[in-house]
Amino acid sequence: MTEVMELERIQHIDTSRADQAVLLEIRDLSISLRLSERKLVEKVNLTLKRGEMLGLAGESGSGKSLTALAVLGLLPPELYVAEGSIMLNGKKITCLSEKELRVLRGREIGYIFQHYQGSFTPFIKIGKQLVEAIRSHFELTKKEAKEKALMWLNRVQLPAERIFGSYPHQLSGGQLQRASLASALMLEPSLIIADEPTTALDVLAGEAILDLFAQLQHDLYCSVLLISHDLKHLLKRTDSMAVMYGGQIVEKGLTDTIKNRSIHPYTKLLLNARPVLSREQPKELTAIPGDPGLVAGDGCSFALRCPLAFEQCRSVPALEEAEILHFAACHAACDRRHE
């Protein structure tokens, strides 16, 4: 791609993003343990616009799911939001009561579970659960709610009548995940949080689910926070990405920018660790040495595993703008950029 074409692409994206209203805004979110006050997530800032799909990447334990649970108001009792705020449609939702949050969940925020087996109660038929969910948010008769449920089971490419009358254990993993997708989308929420939606599915089933999800998201023009440790899914489908490590955002920007011009050493190592199919001699995968990091507090959380670490990494790096809509938190990268 020439520089002129790249500039035109960025200008087009900037304009389209500027026209979009902000749906979800997470400001300086920190999550701590109640007993020890130890921070598991620190100063997370994310913005999700209407119709946008934002990918949240990072290895297990980086704080991705905790961030999502904070948006839903479903943090475990031993954790709490220590700092920051979460805004949905311009309204602060971190101070809502449980009763208010129950109304918000499903109708305004749909959630696709990492373990799809938890999407449904095992001893109640799928159809009955869908009808109850619909009627709890809409003033519909049982017949009208059933018609709506069947329509959505059809939209996720399932044999609607059979699935409607089945118990969860009678469905395959792929069918159950499609049913959970219908459950999340049928209330037509403005925000969908999908937490590792292809966990335990084979590669082909996972790809099919995500392709269908992306198409339905486009049709509904809803916003999606797609959480995954699999960069392949995020690079293929999202508009923008944020990379978490040790409970902090280390890099965020447009997906094309993260893919082609990543700055943070952790992001680069993640990208290099991806297997690439090629007729040529396959490249040697890069392993990231060491153990997953935690919120450091007194320095960069990635410093102990970073090949570029130096003395200044003893202090916490700020998330700085490297270029338009592209931010990174890295002393080494910022120093090299300013040379």
Average pLDDT, the chain: 86
Domain ranges of the chain: 3-108+189-273
Q: How far is CA 155 from CA 110, 152, 190, 291, in A?
A: 17, 5, 18, 43
Long-range pairs, 306-313, Cβ under 8 A, ≥24:
306/265, 306/266, 306/332, 307/265, 308/265, 308/332, 308/333
* Cα–Cα distance for residue pair 102/70, rounded to 1 Å: 14
Q: What is the pLDDT of residues 248-288, one digit of tens each?
A: 999 999 999 999 999 999 999 999 887 776 666 666 777 78
Question: Which H or E run includes 134?
Answer: helix 126-137
Structure tokens at 248: 């902090």
pLDDT at residue 15 tops 60: no
CA nearest neighbour of 179 among 146, 154, 145: 154
| The pLDDT of residue 141 | 95
pLDDT at residue 13 tops 60: no
The angle subtended at Cα 131 by Cα 127 and Cα 136, nearest 5°, is: 150
CA nearest neighbour of 154 among 124, 185, 193: 185
The pTM of this model reads 0.88
- Cβ partners under 8 Å of residue 265, min gap 6: 302, 306, 307, 308, 330, 332, 333
One-letter amino acid of 16: S
pLDDT at residue 3 tops 60: no
Q: What is the pLDDT of residues 34-59, one digit of tens each?
A: 998 889 999 999 999 999 999 999 98
Q: What is the pLDDT of residues 128-142, one digit of tens each?
A: 999 999 999 999 999
Q: What is the pLDDT of residues 65-94, one digit of tens each?
A: 999 999 999 999 999 999 999 999 999 999
| The pLDDT of residue 16 | 44
Task: Go through 294-307 and write b for each residue having 16 or more CB atoms within 10 A of its CB, e for each that does not.
Answer: bbbeebbbbbebbe
Report yes or no: 266 and 258 within 8 Å, Cβ to Cβ.
Answer: no
Q: Which CATH superfamily includes the segment(s) 3-108+189-273?
A: P-loop containing nucleotide triphosphate hydrolases (3.40.50.300)
pLDDT at residue 1 tops 50: no
pLDDT at residue 207 tops 80: yes
| The pLDDT of residue 17 | 46
Q: What is the pLDDT of residues 102-121, one digit of tens each?
A: 889 888 999 987 776 677 99
What's phi and psi for 82, nearest 5 deg? Answer: -80, -35
pLDDT at residue 61 tops 90: no
Q: How many CA atoms lie within 13 A of 211 on its CB side?
A: 7
Pairing state of beta strands 326-328 and 53-57?
unpaired
